[in-house]
Structure 1
Amino acid sequence: MALQSNPAWQAFSDAVQAAHADPEQLRLIEAGQLTVDLSAQRDSQTLRDAAIELLSVAGFEQARHALFEGGIANLSENRPALHTALRSSHAPESVRSLITAQLERMKRFVDDANTYNRYSNVVHLGIGGSDWGPRMVWHSLKGVSNRRTLRFAANIDAHAITAALDGLDPRDTLIIVASKSFTTTETMTNAREAIKWLEHGGIKHPLNQVVALTANPAAAIEFGVAPERIFEFWDWVGGRYSIWSTIGLPVALGLGWTTFEELLQGARDMDTHFQTAAIAHNAPVQLALNMVANTSILGFSSEVICPYDARLTDFVPWLQQLQMESLGKAVDQQGNPIDVSVSPAVWGMPGTDSQHTFFQWLHQSQRGAPVDFIFCIEPEHHLLSHHRQLVANCLAQRAALWRGKSVEVSFQELKHKHDESHAQWLAQHCLHPGGRPSTLIVLPKLDAHRLGALLALYEHKVFVAGVLWGLNPFDQWGVEFGKRLALELMQNDPEQTKDFDASTRHWLASLMRVTSKNH
């Protein structure tokens, strides 16, 4: 059924448009040791009732059960999406032993490396979900007592791999090759370059310093990696959900096994909250409902993420991949066109840098965008005046977006500095429309447990939004199409490229002329 002809959807839409946010009504949800403040999102009893009915009609309870119990969550590929099982103490029996065996192997590898002081440096090669998860966790949690140095290379641009290897000692460097298929062009190209670097550094058996993280062990063995150095995950783990799997190996090597376990525990706590909390007090469900309301009904086309913590710089691109790869669809589970706007673009950067970059647009543009603000109560440094300023800026920007500022208020402020006519003219430029929605997520502090909970919060938000919109958040056919075309272009075969447009053929020919000179 088309959403706009669904009575439950229409009731939800009507309730959203009639509701408002009351700045004096505090709406807090405690979840996984995080606090989610929804006070600047629309709310009413009618809206809450309509949301519950919409979730029921969409089959939310059944979909959530299938997610955790191994049902077919990914319809187009006919498989479950069991990333939650990777961190569960009660994983479905069908996968429990597989997960336990790989975790035990990972731990033995980390313990052995620590016991014998192996690998001062770890270079992680992956892209997309095989890269953003460990990269984001490392940059969020690394400190002065890290066990090892981690570097990352994802892009096929050779500047990435050369920068990752630059200055390292090949004798004390581990190369991790992370690819679900173990055929990913960027990753395998960088892996071959890293092996050459080891060889040029005097390493006689470079593959002894290579580890594979993959769902295709046979391909890793064919590449030359010994079976005991291959750590497996599975096709029911999407790349953007894979940090909880063996893809977390660099985190365990760089930050310690205990840190990796705490990351899993934090996500596990959020899973429990998501499974047991009532709808009105269920943080992922409420985040999803707000996103659906803001996007499909109120017309916002993007969503801004502003962590007021410099350590969370990589959180934004991690979330971009999670949300936009999951929800960037135009058809529902049955293949029918979706008749409402879905999947807002995700963008942002940490505050206060963001205030001097795009907050002018957020405050005074015609439309603006909803914002997720994130901050930690306790800093990991002793410069408390900095932290007070940081949090004050976060709260002030959020308040200003909602409160707004009228022309009359601006005029009253300006008339003491300017003549009346100029003050009236200038006041028009100082108008802040206000009423712009936001969510505030507060962490007691940024540690592995709270970070794990934060990541799982957004994973479940994306899942619920997929249920409400009726789409599949676990496939990514658009990505696959582009990959296939790139492979065709790399063949340098006129028969393979004749169906491409004139511009593509022109620039491909130019590329081939340049690269042939270098060979």
Structure 2
Amino acid sequence: MHTTLWQNLERAVQQTQLSKDSLRLIPAAGITLDVSAQRWSDDIAAAAQALLNHHQFAERRNALLQGGIANPTEGRAAWHTALRAAAPIRDVAEERQRVTDFVRLADAERRWRNVIHIGIGGSDWGVRLAVGAFGYAGTWRNVRFAANIDGHAMAGAMAGLDPRDTLVVVASKSFTTSETLQNAQRAIEWLKGAGIADPYQHIVAITAKPDVAQAWGAHPSRIFKLWDWVGGRFSLWSSVGLTIALAVGIEAVAGLHAGAAAMDHHFAHAPFASNAPVQMALAGVINRSILGYGSLNIAPYDFRLGYLVPYLQQLEMESLGKSVDLNGNPVAMATGPAVWGMPGTDAQHTFFQWLHQGSDGAPADFIVCQHADHVWPEHHTRLLANCLAQREALLSGKTQAQAYEEGLARGLTAERAQALAKHCTHPGGRPSNLVVLPQLSPYTLGALLALYEHKVFTQAVFWNINPFDQWGVEYGKALAGHITHTFLHQTPKTGPHDASTTHWVTTFSPPDNALESAP
């Protein structure tokens, strides 16, 4: 990190307060970003641009969008934008057509009344999000998900379904993901138990390792490709979207692609001050690294976006959970925040008290649709009012004097009003974004997700970290593999573990041959 440039940004931020009188709206790919409740000044803009220039933002953005090496620690591209291009490269176009043909044939034959989607992380959350957003009222296909290694997840996914009319979609980039393959094996056993002679006729595999999937048993005609340059958390844009197409239509997938591609174009060409992902990123960096907020609240005021929070948790926290820069040096400031939340108005009755009056607080991203798709306008009016009111309260706050006057107006005695006013004070000055979609459609959802993708990338440039690797999770996987081997093969329970882990490995170890004799 260039110390002088960073100090210039810090100084500019510290000299700037949130203003209740400014209005900063940024249109991008059909949605509107309101960053009025973020710190902004000419000095902040100049310092931020200098920092981005120092870290070669333009060059790194070009590498991202054109298939260059965007992930230096693994020496590969992060070219998920190629998956949603209007005129994609040949391999992507061919695989997109294969997915379309498969879904259209299944629809024409009215086949696969049930779909079980097996994947985890990026192979799961985006599909859940899109199916929940556009199939929340139900579709003619019954779509279920199994991600967790907990056997209850797979048992619940299969419960009550007719195996003879069930398609199992197995999505794993490496086709070695332990949770996914274990759950897929249970599906194979379930299909065989129903008397299906060739259970692999009921299996679709989506992977960057088609040879591994074929060796596992999948039929080549039922294997759809990913690519090594598609990070797992960007799988939504790939053939993993096949389940979305089966659930809510191939047109929904096309709409998602179109909206994301429009945001890609905006990100590539909009100038600094009116570039929505860049301005969101700047606000995120200021809030985390300079103002010291440790988390970011996501507040989608739309019931259909229930899975947006875990989707963005993975996107942000896998990408920005780094403490060394591109050169392997410790980063000198706090990087990615914890991301959390739930849809409003449920959130208001769960944790908004902490947002308003807690000692720490957190920035919030409010996401709302201007127009609803249901037939009860009063519901939507009240939803919009709640969204705007919560955001205003976070920004404006309430002084003790205001709270005292309100108490008097309610008929309280002066003594009671004075005592209660201390508890009704809101600090205010808490930053937020407001993202307004005209309505929820595949196009606007695609644009929204790409907005966050590019925002996260730009934050990584500010911090000079790599947002496309995830070495941190590998250690835990290795330890889990060792413990699993201990359980399965009855090896000695002592090993390179701490005392507590050694105790529980011994306690949890099954009796001899229990695993081999289990049904």
TM-score between the two structures when normalised by the length of structure 1 = 0.96
1:203 aligns with 2:196: yes
- Paired residue for 2:108? 115
Q: Structure 2: where are the runs of 5+ without partners?
A: none
In structure 2, which of residues 256, 265, 268 is the aligned counterpart of residue 263 of structure 1? 256
User: Which position in structure 2 is the counterpart of 1:42?
Assistant: 39
Structure 1 counterpart of 2:353: 360
Q: Does the Cα contact within 8 Å between 1:147 and 1:256 map onto a contact in 2? A: no
1:87 aligns with 2:77: no
1:472 counterpart (452, 463, 466)? 466
The match for 1:191 is 184
Distance 2:294 2:97 in 1: 44
* Secondary structure in structure 1 of the residue aligned to 2:124: helix
1:69 aligns with 2:63: no
Does structure 1 conserve the Cα–Cα contact (< 8 Å) formed by 2:136 and 2:304?
A: no
- Distance (whole Å) between structure 1 residues aligned to residue 152 and residue 6 of structure 2: 49
1:427-484: CA deviation from partner (whole Å, max 9, x where unpaired) = 1111100000000000011110000000000000000001110000000011121111
Quote the offset at 1:415 in angstroms: 3.1
Q: Pick from 311, 325, 329: which aligns with 1:332?
A: 325
Aligned mate of 1:449, from 440, 443, 455: 443
Mapped partners of 1:310, 1:442: distance in 2? 15
The alpha carbon displacement at 1:420 in A equals 2.4
What is the one-letter code of the residue matched to 1:446?
A: L
In structure 1, the residue corresponding to 2:509 is in which secondary structure? helix
Q: Is the 8 A contact 1:147 1:255 kept in 2?
A: no
Q: What is the aligned partner in structure 2 of residue 463 from structure 1?
A: 457
Matched, 1:54 2:51: yes
CA contact (8 A) 1:488 1:497 kept: no
Q: Does 1:14 align with 2:21?
A: no
Name the CA shift for 1:514/1:16 in 2 (closer, same or farther; >3 Å). farther
SS at match of 1:415: helix
* 1:147 shift after superposition: 4.5
Which piece of structure 1 moves more, 503-512 or 427-436?
503-512
Q: Structure 2 matches for 1:91-170, cutoff 5 A?
A: 91=88, 96-144=89-137, 146-170=139-163
Equivalent residues in 2 for 1:346-385 (5 A)?
Answer: 346-385=339-378
Q: What is the alpha-carbon distance in structure 1 between the residues aligned to residue 502 and residue 212 of structure 2? A: 32
The structure 2 residue matched to 1:486, chosen from 476, 480, 489, is 480
The amino acid across from 2:385 in the alignment is A
**Matched residues in 2 for 1:410 and 1:255: separation?**
50
Three-state SS of the structure 1 residue aligned to 2:176 is coil
8 A contact 1:31–1:283 mirrored in 2: yes
- 1:103-149 superposed Cα distances (whole Å, 9 cap, x missing partner): 11111111111122210111000000000111111101115573422
The verdict on how the C-alpha distance between 1:436 and 1:228 changes in structure 2, with shifts beyond 3 A counting, is same
Find the partner of 2:276 among 267, 280, 283: 283
**SS of corresponding position for 1:24:** coil
SS in 2 for 1:343: coil
Contact preservation (8 Å) 2:493, 2:506: no
| 8 Å contact kept, 2:493–2:502 | no
Choose from 420, 423, 435 the match for 1:426.
420
Amino acid at match of 1:136: L
SS of corresponding position for 1:346 = strand
Decide whether aligned partners of structure 1 residues 362 and 104 sit closer, same or farther in structure 2, where only a CA change above 3 A counts. Answer: same
Q: Tell me the secondary structure at the aligned position of residue 169 of structure 2.
A: strand
CA deviation after TM superposition for structure 1 residue 409, in Å: 0.8
The structural deviation recorded for 1:20 is: 2.2
AA matched with 1:460: H
- Separation (CA, whole Å) in 2 of partners of 1:426 and 1:322: 42
Structure 1 match to 2:382: 389
2:217 aligned residue (224, 228, 232) = 224
Whether the aligned pair in 2 keeps the contact of 1:489 and 1:497 (CA below 8 Å) is no
Aligned to 2:205: 212
Question: How far does the alpha carbon of each residue in 1:368-419 deviate from its partner, in whole angstroms, 9 at most, with x for none?
Answer: 0000000101111101111111110000000000010001111112235333
Once the two structures are superposed, residues 55-101 of structure 1 have per-residue CA deviations (whole angstroms, 9 ceiling, x without a partner) of 1112110000010111110011000100001111355xxxx221112
Quote the residue 2:400 is aligned against.
407
| Deviations 1:201-232, CA, capped at 9 Å, x for gaps | 22111111001000111110111001110001
How far apart are the structure 1 equivalents of 2:494 and 2:374? 56
Aligned partner letter, 2:7: Q
Query: Bigger CA drift: 160-169 or 509-518?
Result: 509-518
SS at match of 1:36: strand
SS at match of 1:513: coil
Q: 1:216 to 1:316 in 2, by over 3 A?
A: same
- Residue 240 of structure 2 corresponds to 247
Tell me by how many angstroms 1:424 deviates.
1.6
Offset at residue 23 of structure 1 (A):
1.9
Q: Distance in 1 between matches of 2:67 and 2:5?
A: 28
**1-structure distance, mates of 2:30, 2:187:** 41
The separation in 1 between residues aligned to 2:493 and 2:118, in whole angstroms, is 30
More off after superposition, 14-23 vs 409-418: 409-418
CA distance in 2, matches of 1:451, 1:124: 21
C-alpha spacing 1:496/1:339, structure 2 compared with 1 (3 Å):
farther
2-structure distance, mates of 1:47, 1:339 = 20
Output the CA distance in 2 between the equivalents of 1:124 and 1:212.
10
